[in-house]
Amino acid sequence: MSQADFIGFSPKAVEFLANLRANNEREWFAENKPDYERMVREPALDFITAFSKPLSQFAPCFIAMPKKVGGSLMRPYRDIRFSRDKTPFKTNVGIQFRHELGKDVHAPGYYFHIDPDGVFIGAGIWHPDSDSIAKIRGAIAEQSTAWRRATNSRAFKESFQLGGSSLKRPPRGFAKDHPLIEDLKRKDFMAISNLDMESLHSPQIVADVAKLFKKTTPLMKFLCKAIEVPF
């Protein structure tokens, strides 16, 4: 499937997710699994397939893998082993385009999210391990100009904002009056952009998401360089 062949997600995809939120039980999901396959999983896999070509053009080290299990589409099942919330299913679609080294290192990636409340995309690194976060903070401190260019350019700021969680206090080794202390306190280095729900239903959704992701290229290059993986 090419980019031009994907006609967008049906409104029924979000409708199914809303119904799942209201009926988050194994029995209901089993009865309605054919609808999940037709309305949610199959269109999501088609989107991943269509996105593989533009992704390879602007970020060739990242992978679009249209597989039901083990690919870019995240599983609908929640891990409830250590959670007070015992509802068994995620009520969103999560699509991740991981770095080719993603199984070996906690590398940056691209993310596409759909749920009944909205649609957003993200680019960057979420919850990096201690070694990676130390490297990223070191790079921000040592290459402050490059970091500012990556996160403060007009193209970036017109569509994205940095999100995620942060430390309450400065990380060890950094002064509290460092000019970039708020960025150094970050525990996640993610650029987030909210999309209009109606954009899901447009044949332009693949091109639109690719255009937005391209705006994060300076950030993604910075993060990849910091943790020593190719972009």
Tell me if 91 is assigned to some domain.
Answer: yes
Tell me if 218 is assigned to some domain.
Answer: yes
Specify the number of domains making up the chain: 1
Residue 212, pLDDT score: 97
Tell me if 79 is assigned to some domain.
Answer: yes
| Domain coverage including residue 138 | 3-226
- Nearest residue to 8 (alpha-carbon basis) of 51, 53, 54, 43: 43
Tell me if 18 is assigned to some domain.
Answer: yes
Tell me if 231 is assigned to some domain.
Answer: no
Residue 104, pLDDT score: 65
DSSP 3-state assignment of 114? strand
Nearest-angstrom CA–CA distance, 190 and 98: 14
Tell me if 115 is assigned to some domain.
Answer: yes
Judge contact between 79 and 50, C-beta under 8 A.
no
User: Quick one: tokens of 191?
Assistant: 């650029």
Q: Is 44 exposed, middle or buried (0-12, 13-18, 19+ CB in 10 A)?
A: buried
For 91, residues 6+ apart whose C-beta sits below 8 A from its C-beta are: 17, 18, 20, 21, 24, 115, 116
Tell me if 111 is assigned to some domain.
Answer: yes
- Here the CATH number for the domain that contains residue 138 is 3.30.930.20
> Given the DSSP bridges, would you call strands 109-115 and 93-98 parallel, antiparallel or unpaired?
antiparallel
- Nearest residue to 142 (alpha-carbon basis) of 167, 104, 174, 116: 174
Residue 106, pLDDT score: 79
Per-residue pLDDT in tens (0 to 9) along the chain, 231 residues: 666 689 999 999 999 999 999 999 999 999 999 999 999 999 999 999 999 999 999 999 999 999 988 899 999 999 888 888 889 999 999 999 999 987 766 789 999 999 999 999 999 999 999 999 999 999 999 999 999 999 999 999 999 999 999 999 999 999 999 999 999 999 999 999 999 999 999 999 999 999 999 999 999 999 999 999 999
Strand partners, 122: 111, 192
Supply φ then ψ for residue 226, to 5 degrees.
Answer: -60, -40
